[in-house]
Structure 1
Amino acid sequence: MAIAKLGAVVLDCPDPRALAGFYAEILGGTVEGEGDWVDLKVPDGQSLSFQEAPGHVPPKWPAPDHSQQFHLDLTVEDLDAAEAGILALGAKTLDADDRSRTFRVYADPAGHPFCLCAG
């Protein structure tokens, strides 16, 4: 069972296969490819791709003077259950203290911010 739904996006990162594996655990699907480009084929036919970026520097969040580059909004049924799942996979909390909001902010293992959003 997937934790979230996602449209296609390409993420720069230091290790495409490792980061594709992280998102495969969250979204389901299969990791395809080797080297500097890896695709994650998710069950609903959408894909997420990962491109090796030598010298990758993670974005800073929140920091108006350092672009977050992009972020993913992942829709979930249960914020608490999804949070437990992503933290177990290696996500880091960036801003999840306000439990009254309908979203929480995290970083993936390569430092990209993403939100879990109540669906």
Structure 2
Amino acid sequence: MNPPSFIVPYLKPGLDDHYDVKMPCHLILSKLADKCQSAVLAELDSLVDPLQNTINFKPKQEVDRYEDLIRRALRAIASLNRISGGDCSLKFKNLMTEISKFPTLWDTYCSIKNE
């Protein structure tokens, strides 16, 4: 598999898709962040918006499912945060700042990061 040719045309739209598509995409992103850091780092700015949309979404129903989705997104964000050089992305820094402003999100993120 060629990660750069997979991330933008397939993974990024999947991160913006329906719940059932987002879940495996968050897992794939976490794995790619661990295994193909340079490819993910090259596309990091384009991945921030779909992740931010996921963690900011407030469902009116199926709250438990969306809490699990947010945990998966935060797990992917934690994987992205471990990439050396990820701090060069201003969009990603802003996402991390936004997460830190919300105690529930931040606590969940910290517990995931420490797993």
Instruction: Calculate the TM-score normalised by the size of structure 1.
Output: 0.26
**Higher RCO structure (Cα 8 Å, ≥6 apart):** 2
As a proportion of its length, which structure holds more strand?
1
As a proportion of its length, which structure holds more helix?
2
